[in-house]
């Protein structure tokens, strides 16, 4: 029997992440995150919050916000729902880790291969974001996160530093289309 060697590919289909610099804007594919969704079960929200905070120091954020705890980020995505992001190197099976902590107070789903993550950095990203979606990106401050549509794709935008650093999560199946939209918007203001 022959031995098959599998090699992981990024969402854009490469061995290494795609990094594009246009003018003063850098768009970087980030495949180094593991993502888990978390949804509190009926009437178990308070229990979920206390279990997570006690065991992992993760505090679940309020609507429109994100919180950091060591190397983990929690992002509010809906009523009693969050996405949890962590480095894949230190949390290779993060959804299972979280499930062990929360037990039956929440439903946990592995989401890593369902999303593409792009980190965008530059001196003034507001004009670029204004071309991509109808989000009031000027009003976003550090630690805020919100859903929006970019080219008809449901995305999540995270503000890491107001006007200068953002992370965009989009559907992995549309990674190339989303990347093209980001590059096109960056070129339009370069």
Is the pLDDT reported for residue 184 higher than 70?
yes
The pLDDT value recorded for residue 56 is 79
Helix spans in 119-174 (H): 126-132
Is the pLDDT reported for residue 2 higher than 80?
no
Half-sphere exposure in the Cβ direction for 39 (13 Å, CA): 10
Banded pLDDT at 40 (limits 50, 70, 90): very high
Tell me the two tokens of residue 160. Answer: 């890491």
Mean pLDDT throughout 172-177?
97
Query: Greatest CA span in the chain, whole angstroms?
Result: 59
The pLDDT value recorded for residue 1 is 59
Beta bridge partners of 87: 33
pLDDT digits (tens, 9 = 90+) for 27-37: 999 999 999 99
pTM across the whole model: 0.92
| Nearest-angstrom CA–CA distance, 47 and 25 | 43
Burial 16-25 (b: 16+ CB within 10 A, else e): ebbeeebeeb
pLDDT digits (tens, 9 = 90+) for 100-110: 999 999 999 99
pLDDT digits (tens, 9 = 90+) for 111-128: 999 999 999 999 889 999
Banded pLDDT at 55 (limits 50, 70, 90): confident
pLDDT digits (tens, 9 = 90+) for 79-92: 999 999 999 999 99
Which contiguous run of DSSP H or E holds residue 102? helix 94-102
The better pLDDT of the pair 70, 182 is held by 182
Domains of the chain: 23-31+114-189 (3.30.70.1400), 33-112 (3.30.70.1520)
- Listed residue (173, 161, 166, 183) closest to 11, CA to CA: 173
Banded pLDDT at 44 (limits 50, 70, 90): very high
The pLDDT value recorded for residue 69 is 83
């Amino acid at each position: 029997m022959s031995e098959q060697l599998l090699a992981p590919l990024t969402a854009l289909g490469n061995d290494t992440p795609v990094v594009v610099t246009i003018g003063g804007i850098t768009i970087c594919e980030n495949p180094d995150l593991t993502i888990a969704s978390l949804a509190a079960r009926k009437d178990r929200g308070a229990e979920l919050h206390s279990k997570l905070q006690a065991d992992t120091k993760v505090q679940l954020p309020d609507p429109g916000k994100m919180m950091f705890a060591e190397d983990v980020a929690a992002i509010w995505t809906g009523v009693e729902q969050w996405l949890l992001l962590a480095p894949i190197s230190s949390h290779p099976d993060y959804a299972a880790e979280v499930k062990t902590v929360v037990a039956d107070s929440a439903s946990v789903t592995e989401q890593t291969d369902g999303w593409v993550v792009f980190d965008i950095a530059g001196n003034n990203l507001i004009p670029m974001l204004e071309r991509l979606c109808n989000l009031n990106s000027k009003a976003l401050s550090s630690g805020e996160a919100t859903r929006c549509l970019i080219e008809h794709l449901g995305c999540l935008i995270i503000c890491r530093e107001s006007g200068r650093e953002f992370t965009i999560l989009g559907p992995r199946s549309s990674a190339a289309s989303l990347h093209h939209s980001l590059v096109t918007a960056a070129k339009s203001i370069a």
